[in-house]
């Protein structure tokens, strides 16, 4: 029982990180109509921007957080303005190819600047908090709290603000949204701001949970896409549910499966979702039309 | 033999192996518009199949079949084809993005299996001593004979695919790619045609993996970096010209020249930077792809347009400037 609860805590932490990435992928997928393959590497960039501040100025990670977010947003908006915007006239799949290239460029840049070695924000050992036989790392509590806070803020943004409402409208039906006079450029800009903010947060949380390395985000991409598909494309709340499902199942699977097959669990969940219910838990948009 | 000649033979053999893979990808993406970024999966399944089937008895991995090369290479194509069939059945009904995502999943799982199932593959230590088809020949002629074999395979694949492209089958694939609805209205099963194209392309990738295994003589899960190599093959096809078989071969040659050229350049870097050289090379290729996508998305040799002869004759006098 203790082992189960312990794995459940790891699952919630991992699921939260995956959810933050999946919300962004899901939003970009529904508004710009392409699978953004550079999302994992955007997380990596965010994590390393925070590392630069932590190492360079000796500030704690939570202090570096807003600056890393700002940097990540600039990177995402910059990539959209220089590449994706020009390619939007062509087929969405060209954007997909371009984003794979962007993923490799971002990862190569991180590799070039910070080198291939792993890094951590904080050296030394922090003692876990004990509840009976359960041990909880303080970092994990911060990650869970941060994830909850970001999700609540996102919820308020999507439900209460005008931009948030236009965004949901565009995700539901882009043509209808456009004829009702929604400013698409503005919605796209906000999509990148939100997606990049959540991606940087996920990257930093991942760095706190494990360690930083140039391929950290890329390796999470499969889990993120699985979560977005399981939750339903264009459904931010579905993405959270999908992320939690993928995260918790992956961690619990280590009780019976060899941990080296953990990434395969996310894939298995995604294949099941595609076979049984391709629209996802929350009944998202099924992207069937091929051009 | 002249060291320059030795290098040229080695270089061209690799270009040939890459050209096979790009031709395979061209069937999937160029002909049918199927987005496969799990090339590494089909490549390594082919490589391992052929290696295991030809190796003598070994306590390190499954083996002891010592089958002839032709049987092993055919089996490599068959296993890669079966894998493609399974992936295709699940994802080809849906939009290309799903296949793209599923294909990286397959590549990752194949890599995990090759790494962890030691009884089958000897894990991370890999399989060595894979037989060379011309092992009895003297040094130099051996490599030359292998090059001729590879170029022969490329020529056969090219001629067959060129034939397929002009056949009713190739036309149906393009119809499905351009408009699924009108192809289905004409009585073509889009799913069936996609499945065929995906399987045929993956079989060629499997063959290319088998050829690679016998060329290098050693194969391990890390021998073929899944994302870098897959990406390189994509850049080859897009730069060469998707949908054009000659473009696919030209792209393989052009990008391999660029890739090897950047290796020469990064060797000039100071020693402490050399560990980061692969990242710099990838950065350059990634930027090259963006430039090509923005400025010449059709590639060096664009896809040939097929217009019905009667339609073309009727159109030419009226619409001289129109592009159809």
Over residues B202-211, mean pLDDT: 96
Average pLDDT, chain A: 89
pLDDT at A287 over 60: no
* Nearest 10 degrees: Cα torsion A9, A11, A14, A16: -80
Chain B contact for A111 (CB, 8 A cutoff): yes
Do the beta carbons of residue B287 and residue B262 sit within 8 Å?
A: no
* Closest chain B residue to A100, measured at CA: B231
H or E stretch including A135?
strand A134-136
Q: How many CB atoms lie within 10 A of CB A14?
A: 26
More reliable by pLDDT, A178 or B34: B34
B280 touches chain A (CB under 8 A): yes
Distance CA A109, CA B283 (A): 7
Please state, in angstroms and rounded to a whole number, the distance separating the CA atoms of residues A238 and A227. Answer: 8
| Contact across the interface for A290 and B96, Cβ inside 8 Å | yes
Q: Do B227 and A35 touch (CB under 8 A)?
A: no
Q: Do the beta carbons of residue A213 and residue A220 sit within 8 Å?
A: no
pLDDT tens-digit profile of A139-165?
999 999 999 999 999 999 999 999 999
| Of the candidates A43, A36, A47, the residue with the CA atom closest to the CA atom of residue A101 | A36
**A-chain residues near B106 (CB < 8 A):** 267
Most confident of B135-144, B154-163, B179-188, B258-267: B154-163
Token pair 């993120």: residue:
A224
Q: What's the whole-model pTM score? A: 0.89
User: What is the number of residues in chain A?
Assistant: 291
Name which of A90-94, A226-230, B155-159, B287-291 the model is least confident about.
A90-94
| B100, B178, B297 member nearest A90 (Cβ) | B297
- Distance from C-alpha of A21 to C-alpha of A231, rounded to nearest angstrom: 13
Which site among B36, B96, B231, B281 would you substitute to test the A interface, given the most A Cβ atoms closer than 10 Å to its Cβ? B96
A289 and B CB contact within 8 Å? yes
A210: which 2 tokens? 């494990």
- Chain B nearest CA to A128, separation (Å): 32
Q: Which residue has the tokens 């599923």?
A: B102
What is the reported pLDDT for A284?
A: 63
Looking at the complex, report in whole angstroms how far the Cα of residue A117 sits from the nearest Cα belonging to chain B.
11
> What's the mean pLDDT when you consider all of chain B?
87
pLDDT value of residue A286? 54
Instruction: Determine the Cα–Cα distance for residues A107 and A217; give it in Å rounded to an integer.
Output: 9
CA dist., res. B121 & res. B219, Å (int): 9
Decide: A4 and A133 in contact? Cβ < 8 Å. no
**What whole-number distance in Å separates Cα of residue B107 and Cα of residue B46?**
13
The C-alpha torsion from B209 through B211 and B212 to B214, rounded to 10°, is: 130
pLDDT band at B185 (very low <50, low <70, confident <90, very high): confident
Which residues from chain B sit within 8 angstroms of residue A229, using beta carbons?
A: 98, 101
Task: Show the 3-state SS of chain B.
Answer: CCHHHHHHHHHHHHHHHHHHHHHHHHHHHHHCCCCCCCHHHHHHHHHHHHHHHHCCCCCCCCCCCCCCHHHHHHHHHHHHHHHHHHHHHHHCCCCHHHHHHHHHHHHHHHHHHHHHCHHHHCHHHCECCCCCCCCCCCCCHHHHHHHHHHHHHHHHHHHHHHHHHHCHHHHHHHHHHHCHHHHHHCCCCHHHHHHHHHHHHHHHHHHHHHHHHHHHCCECCCCCCHHHHHHHHHHHHHHHCCCCHHHHHHHHHHHHHHHHHHHHHHCCCCHHHHHHHHHHHHHHHHHHHHHHHHHCCCCCCCCCCCCCHHHHHHHHHHCCCCCC
Structure tokens at B295: 């400025």
In contact, B55 and B47? CB cutoff 8 Å: no
Inter-chain residue contact B283 with A108, CB threshold 8 Å: yes
Q: Is A133 exposed, middle or buried (0-12, 13-18, 19+ CB in 10 A)?
A: exposed
Subunit contact B112:A218, Cβ cutoff 8 A = no
Task: Please identify which residue in the block is written with the tokens 């660029």.
Answer: B258
Which residue of A105, A231, A262, A275 is the best one to mutate when testing the B interface, meaning the one whose CB has the most B CBs within 10 A?
Answer: A105
Cα torsion A40, A46, A48, A50: sign: negative
| Region for residue A132 given its phi and psi (left: phi exceeds 0; alpha: psi -120 to 50; beta: otherwise) | left
Q: How far apart are CA A52 and CA A70, in angstroms?
A: 14
Among candidate residues B166, B211, B173, the one with its CA nearest the CA of residue B192: B173
**By C-alpha distance, which of B63, B72, B69 is closest to B45?**
B72
Question: Residue B315 — pLDDT band, cuts 50, 70, 90?
Answer: low
Contacting residues of B for A97, CB less than 8 Å apart: 234, 238, 289, 293
Phi-psi region of B140 (alpha: psi -120 to 50; beta: other; left: phi over 0): left
Please check whether residue A207 is in contact with residue A72, taking contact to mean a CB–CB distance below 8 angstroms: no
Among candidate residues B6, B10, B14, B20, the one with its CA nearest the CA of residue B200: B20
Does the pLDDT value for residue B307 go beyond 70? no
Question: Do residue B294 and residue A87 have CB atoms under 8 angstroms apart?
Answer: yes
For residues B232 and B286, what is the distance between their CA atoms, to the nearest angstrom? 9
d(CA A155, CA B312): 57
Encoded tokens for B87: 């992936």
Q: DSSP alpha helices (H): ranges in chain A?
A: 2-32, 39-57, 61-79, 85-87, 92-114, 138-160, 162-172, 174-179, 184-209, 216-231, 236-253, 262-276
- Give the closest of B238, B275, B279 to A97, CB-based: B238
Task: Classify A119 as helix, strand or coil.
Answer: strand
To 10 degrees, what angle do helices B3-25 and B226-240 make? 80
CB contact under 8 A, A275 and B90: yes
A71 or B37, greater pLDDT: A71
Contact between residue A73 and residue A197 where contact means Cβ atoms under 8 Å apart: yes
Task: Please compute, for residue B128, the number of CA atoms within 13 A of its CA located in the half-sphere on the CB side.
Answer: 2
- Residue B322 has what pLDDT? 38
Q: Put residue B262 in one of left, alpha, beta given phi > 0 → left and psi -120 to 50 → alpha.
A: alpha
Minimum distance, in Å, between the CA of residue B274 and any CA atom of chain A = 10
Q: Which of B102, B228, B287 sits opposite A105 (nearest CB)?
A: B287
Interface test with A, best of B97, B117, B177, B278 (most A CBs within 10 A): B97
Interface probe for B, chosen from A29, A80, A101 (most Cβ of B below 10 Å), is A101
- Partner A contacted by B33 (CB < 8 A): yes
Query: Which residues does chain B have within 8 Å of residue A278's beta carbon, measured at their own beta carbons?
Result: 94, 98
State residue B314's pLDDT score: 58
pLDDT value of position B63: 76
What ipTM describes this predicted complex?
Answer: 0.85
Tokens at B181, concatenated: 């609805």
Check whether B317 has a pLDDT greater than 60: no
pLDDT surpassing 70 at residue B138:
yes
A70 at interface of B, judged by CB pairs closer than 8 A: no
Residue B212: closest CA among B86, B33, B39: B39
CA distances to A67, A103, A149, B76, B298 from B292, rounded to whole Å, are 34, 17, 42, 34, 9
Secondary structure element (H or E) that encloses residue A131, with its range: strand A129-131
CA distance B90 to chain A (A): 7
Specify the pLDDT at position B324. Answer: 34
For the cut 80, the answer to whether the pLDDT of residue B94 exceeds it is no
- The whole-angstrom separation of Cα A11 and Cα A33 is 30
Residue A130, min C-alpha distance to chain B (Å): 35
């Amino acid at each position: 029982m203790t082992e189960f609860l312990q794995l459940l805590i790891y699952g919630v932490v991992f699921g939260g990180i995956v959810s933050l990435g999946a919300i962004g992928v899901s939003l970009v997928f529904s508004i710009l109509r392409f699978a953004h393959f550079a999302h994992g590497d955007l997380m990596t960039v965010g994590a390393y921007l925070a590392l630069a501040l932590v190492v360079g100025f000796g500030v704690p990670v939570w202090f570096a957080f807003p600056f890393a977010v700002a940097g990540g947003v600039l990177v995402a908006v910059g990539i959209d303005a220089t590449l994706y915007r020009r390619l939007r006239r062509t087929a969405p799949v060209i954007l997909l190819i371009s984003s794979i290239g962007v993923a490799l460029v971002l990862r190569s840049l991180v590799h070039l600047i910070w080198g291939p070695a792993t890094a951590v924000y904080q050296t030394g050992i922090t003692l876990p908090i004990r509840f009976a036989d359960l041990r909880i790392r303080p970092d994990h509590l911060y990650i869970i709290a941060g994830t909850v806070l970001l999700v609540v803020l996102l919820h308020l943004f999507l439900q209460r603000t005008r931009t948030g409402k236009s965004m949901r409208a565009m995700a539901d039906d882009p043509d209808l949204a456009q004829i009702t006079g929604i400013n698409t450029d503005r919605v796209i800009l906000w999509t990148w701001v939100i997606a990049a903010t959540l991606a940087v947060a996920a990257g930093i949380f991942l760095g706190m949970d494990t360690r930083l390395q140039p391929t950290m985000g890329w390796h999470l991409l499969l889990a993120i896409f699985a979560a977005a598909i399981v939750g339903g494309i264009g459904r931010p709340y579905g993405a959270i549910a999908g992320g939690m499902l993928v995260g918790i199942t992956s961690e619990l699977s280590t009780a019976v499966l060899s941990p080296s097959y953990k990434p395969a669990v996310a894939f298995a969940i995604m294949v099941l979702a595609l076979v049984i219910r391709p629209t996802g838990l929350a009944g998202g948009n099924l992207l069937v039309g091929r051009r | 033999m002249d060291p320059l000649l030795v290098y040229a033979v080695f270089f061209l053999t690799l270009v040939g192996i890459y050209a096979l893979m790009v031709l395979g990808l061209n069937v999937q993406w160029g002909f049918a518009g199927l987005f496969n970024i799990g090339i590494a999966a089909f490549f390594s399944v082919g490589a391992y199949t052929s290696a295991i089937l030809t190796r003598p008895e070994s306590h390190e991995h499954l083996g002891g079949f010592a089958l002839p090369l032709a049987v092993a290479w055919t089996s490599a194509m068959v296993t890669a084809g079966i894998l493609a069939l399974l992936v295709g059945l699940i994802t080809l009904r849906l939009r290309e993005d799903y296949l793209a995502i599923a294909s990286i999943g397959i590549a990752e799982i194949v890599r995990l299996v090759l790494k962890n199932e030691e009884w089958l593959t000897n894990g991370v230590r890999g399989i060595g001593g894979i037989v060379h088809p011309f092992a009895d020949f003297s040094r130099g002629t051996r490599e030359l004979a292998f090059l001729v074999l590879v170029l022969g395979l490329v020529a056969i694949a090219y001629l067959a695919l060129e034939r397929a492209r002009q056949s009713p089958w190739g036309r149906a694939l393009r119809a499905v790619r351009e408009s699924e609805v009108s192809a289905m209205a004409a009585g073509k099963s889009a799913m069936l045609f996609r499945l065929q194209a995906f399987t045929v392309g993956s079989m060629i990738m499997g063959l290319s993996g088998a050829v690679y295994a016998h060329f290098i003589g050693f194969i391990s899960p890390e021998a073929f970096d899944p994302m870098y190599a897959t990406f390189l093959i994509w850049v080859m096809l897009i730069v060469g010209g998707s949908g054009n078989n000659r473009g696919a071969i030209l792209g393989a040659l052009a990008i391999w020249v660029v890739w090897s050229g950047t290796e020469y350049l990064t060797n000039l870097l100071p020693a402490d930077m050399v560990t980061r050289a692969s990242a710099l090379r990838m950065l350059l290729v990634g930027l090259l792809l963006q430039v090509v996508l923005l400025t010449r998305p059709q590639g060096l040799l664009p896809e040939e347009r097929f217009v019905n002869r009667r339609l073309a004759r009727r159109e030419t006098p009226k619409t001289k400037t129109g592009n159809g």
